[in-house]
């Protein structure tokens, strides 16, 4: 148990190191995409610290209500796509990073749709992870979350099964109720036995009516900062 806690603390430290490194990329005047999840939370904390101590003038578009609330609390001004249709940088975590191409699985925090919109709006998309997230095949450790409309989700789940998923289950909250995204949709967590052709799978999933988007982020990461026991490695595709 103590050992488990020690590992958890170390992983949290690594996430924080990657997050702090990414925040050094931020310059005065930038518009920033603010990710979601425990690693992104460290990043928003570090950004807030720079705003407070250096008087850094930036603004952010958050990828979830949780990140918006954290940013507001830390005094990071928020903006929108009317004022900033293009962001200078977006910084976010990931659940899996494919070695080589840097394809990602994202969305275990349930924010995949806003995360993808923000990532595609950014000139530079920086991903921050600890080394446990690196994989040789996507789908190895994490399910692919698929955001679907609540009405008719059963049909989408059936067709997702046809794409090779072993199981596609509605995500539930800890208290046993249905998880609903910030956009009012459901998430189906689709478990694949490793994904051989991620591009093909993306197309197959998006072709299903009722699917809003999915957690495969292919060809989007500009770089990945991987925090490991020997320091931070910077990967580029
Ligand atoms: C949320 C995400 C997160 O970036 C992803 O789940 C990684 O989370 P964490 O930094 O907590 O490991 O995609 O939708």
ipTM: 0.98
- The pTM assigned to this predicted structure is 0.95
Residue 20 Cβ < 6 Å to ligand 1: no
Residue 34, pLDDT above cutoff 50: yes
What is the predicted pLDDT for the residue at 1? 47
**What is the CATH architecture assignment of 1-133+218-228?**
3-Layer(aba) Sandwich (3.40)
Question: What is the rounded CA–CA span in Å between residue 119 and residue 215?
Answer: 12
Residue 110 Cβ < 6 Å to ligand 1: yes
Atom of ligand 1 nearest to the CA of 15: 10
* In the chain, % of residues over pLDDT 70: 98
- Feature table: binding site: 36-39, 92-95, 106-109, 133
Tell how far CA 219 is from the center of its chain.
14
Average pLDDT estimate for 54-77:
98
Question: What is the rounded CA–CA span in Å between residue 53 and residue 47?
Answer: 10
CATH 3.30.70.260 domain residues, the chain = 144-214
Q: Where residue 3 falls among pLDDT bands split at 50, 70, 90?
A: low
Instruction: Give the mutation target among 10, 33, 35 for probing the ligand 1 site: most ligand atoms within 8 A of CB.
Output: 35
- Feature table: binding site for substrate: 36-39, 92-95, 106-109, 133
Q: Which of 16, 96, 115, 147 is an active site residue?
A: 115
Q: Are strands 89-92 and 31-34 parallel, antiparallel or unpaired?
A: parallel
Alpha-carbon dihedral sign for residues 8, 92, 190, 114: positive
- Report the separation in Å between the CA atom of 105 and the middle of ligand 1, taken as the mean of its atom positions: 9
For the structural domain made of 144-214, what CATH number should be given?
3.30.70.260
SS3 string, the chain, reads CHHHHHHHHHHHHHHHHHHHHHHCCCCCCCEEEECCCHHHHHHHHHHHHHHHHHCCCCEEEECCHHHHHHHHHCCCCECCCCCCCCECEEEECCCEEECCCCCEECCCCCCHHHHHHHHHHECCEEEEEEHHHEECCCCCCCCEEEEECCCCHHHHHHHHHCCCCCEEEECECCCCCECECCCCCEEEEEECCCCCCHHHHHHHHHCCCCEEEECEECCCCCEEEEEECCEEEEECC
CATH 3.40.50.1360 domain residues, the chain = 1-133+218-228
């Amino acid at each position: 148990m103590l050992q488990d806690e020690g590992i958890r603390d170390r992983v949290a430290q690594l996430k924080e190191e990657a997050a702090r490194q990414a925040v050094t990329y931020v310059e005065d005047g930038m518009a920033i995409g603010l990710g979601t999840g425990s690693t992104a939370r460290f990043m928003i904390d570090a950004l807030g610290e720079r705003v407070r101590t250096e008087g850094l003038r930036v603004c952010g578009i958050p990828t979830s209500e949780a990140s918006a609330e954290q940013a507001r609390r830390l005094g990071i001004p928020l903006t929108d796509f009317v004022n900033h249709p293009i962001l200078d940088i977006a910084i976010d975590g990931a659940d899996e990073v494919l070695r080589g191409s840097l394809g990602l699985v994202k969305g275990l925090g349930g924010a995949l749709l806003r995360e993808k919109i923000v990532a595609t709006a950014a000139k530079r998309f920086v991903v921050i992870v600890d080394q446990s997230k690196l994989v040789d095949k996507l789908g190895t450790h994490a399910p692919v979350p698929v955001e679907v409309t609540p009405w008719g989700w059963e049909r989408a789940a059936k067709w997702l099964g046809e794409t090779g998923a072993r199981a596609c289950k509605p995500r539930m909250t800890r208290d046993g109720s249905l998880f609903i995204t910030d956009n009012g949709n459901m998430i189906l967590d689709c478990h694949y036995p490793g994904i051989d052709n991620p591009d093909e799978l993306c197309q197959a999933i998006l072709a299903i009516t009722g699917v809003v988007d999915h957690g495969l982020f292919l060809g989007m990461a500009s770089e990945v900062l991987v925090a490991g026991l020997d320091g931070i490695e910077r990967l580029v595709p």
